[in-house]
Amino acid sequence: MSRQGITSDPHAGFDRPGRRSRPRTKDRPTYDKAVPAIVVTVDRGRFRCLIEGQDQVVSTTKARNLGRKAVIVGDRVRLVGDTSGDEGSLARIVEVDERETVLRRTADDDDPFERPIVANADQLVIVTALADPPPRVGMIDRILVAAYDAGLDPVLVLTKADLGSPDELIAAYRPLGVPVVTTEPGSELSELRRLLAGHRSVLVGHSGVGKSTLVNALIPDIHREVGEVNEVTGRGRHTSTSAIALALPDPGGWVIDTPGVRSFGLSHVTPDSFIAAFSDLADIVEDCPRGCRHDSTEPECALDAAVADGRLSAERLESFRRMERAFG
């Protein structure tokens, strides 16, 4: 039996009914006996999949019928072939379920294409250190925009609270309704555990912010599990270009660690697609003149009128406009 890359309850999380429904692909093929599984890592054409309802991770490739269709971490898939997980065994992915959500990134600065990296997450956890490295509000804002655009609920985790004060960042992000958790060495993680419980949370953070420290604290036996993944891929977790899905201990949920995410392309985000994430603001801007970008240079933006007559707090509008500038 192998359980590489995975800890604790494989039933928790991905196959739990989410807020959204779980449609199957339309062109139902004839793979009646195909085994449902979840992709936990991707490495050079090999996909490690956790078989649903079993404590079993198997190595797979993409079947030819999928063509150029991408398979990414978090995808719900169907497998045929040798799903024993025995050494040297290789199953085939014959079907990929429709995705509830997709998080994309731009691979690097001279790559104009946005690539899907994580499927079916429902939460995006931005991990930022309060010092060493210092926080960058512009980067947090860009990641927040990407989260809202992808339909993921953001959470902000501020690490190294022993080295700096969280007050400024809390003041900047609480008005948006973003849950903010601070951590420091030895700190109690119950609030963070509560926010992660039952969710599929993508962790995003700059190198050195303390992401590994956090994952190790959340998943006590992770060192052993990561070691097993390394045997399979021949590479360390931090040199991998793939995300990895890790099951959380009781009461369950998943974290999807993303060592490679450096930037998010926001070119496809428009003020209107973005404002939809804030239902109170979306209601107000219905009164805006056509084509209003809702920024502070707009003379007749209804958001300013709403602040003037007390329907909207000035802090919330300021936080919203600062974030809007991140892609404007």
Ligand X SMILES: Nc1nc2c(ncn2[C@@H]2O[C@H](COP(=O)(O)OP(=O)(O)OP(=O)(O)O)[C@@H](O)[C@H]2O)c(=O)[nH]1
Q: Does 147 show up as a binding residue in the annotation?
A: no
Q: How far does CA 318 lie from the centroid of its chain?
A: 26
Q: Does 35 show up as a binding residue in the annotation?
A: no
Let me know how many helices (H) and strands (E) the chain has, helices first.
Answer: 9, 13
CB of 63 to ligand X, least distance (A): 34
Q: Does 292 show up as a binding residue in the annotation?
A: yes
Query: Which one, 88 or 186, has the nearer CB to ligand X?
Result: 186
Considering only CA atoms, which of 52, 87, 110 is closest in space to residue 245?
A: 52
CB of 287 to Zn ion, least distance (A): 8
Q: What residue 51 binds from Zn ion, ligand X, none (CB within 5 to 8 A, per partner kind)?
A: none
**Which one of the spans 87-95, 141-149, 158-166, 284-292 is the region binding Zn ion (CB under 5 A)?**
284-292
Q: What residue 159 binds from ligand X, Zn ion, none (CB within 5 to 8 A, per partner kind)?
A: ligand X
Cβ count near 302 (within 10 Å) = 20
Calpha distance 265→168 (Å, rounded): 26
Query: Which one, 30 or 297, has the nearer CB to Zn ion?
Result: 297
**265-266-272 Cα angle (round to 5):** 160
Which residues of this chain interact with ligand X, rule CB under 6 A?
A: 159-160, 162-163, 183-185, 205, 207-213, 238
Q: Does 59 show up as a binding residue in the annotation?
A: no
Calpha distance 110→108 (Å, rounded): 6
Q: Is 316 near Zn ion (CB under 5 A)?
A: no
Q: What residue 294 binds from ligand X, Zn ion, none (CB within 5 to 8 A, per partner kind)?
A: Zn ion
How many residues of this chain interact with Zn ion, rule: CB under 5 A?
5
Q: What residue 184 binds from Zn ion, ligand X, none (CB within 5 to 8 A, per partner kind)?
A: ligand X
Q: Is 301 near Zn ion (CB under 5 A)?
A: yes
Q: Is 294 near Zn ion (CB under 5 A)?
A: yes
> Given CA atoms 231, 233, 234, 235 in this order, what sign does their dihedral have?
negative
Q: Does 208 show up as a binding residue in the annotation?
A: yes
E runs forming strands in the chain = 35-43, 46-51, 57-62, 76-81, 91-96, 102-106, 114-119, 123-129, 153-159, 180-182, 200-205, 244-247, 254-257
Q: Does 205 show up as a binding residue in the annotation?
A: yes
Considering only CA atoms, which of 2, 1, 13 is closest in space to residue 245?
A: 13
Query: Which one, 140 or 323, has the nearer CB to Zn ion?
Result: 323
Q: Does 210 show up as a binding residue in the annotation?
A: yes
User: What single string gives the DSSP state of each residue in 177-231?
Assistant: T--EEE--TT---HHHHHHHTT-EEEEEE-TTSSHHHHHHHHSTTHHHHHHHHHH
Binding site for Zn ion (CB under 5 A): 285, 288, 292, 294, 301
Known binding-site positions for Zn(2+): 288, 292, 294, 301
Binding residues for GTP: 159-162, 205-213
Give the residue ranges of the annotated binding site: 159-162, 205-213, 288, 292, 294, 301
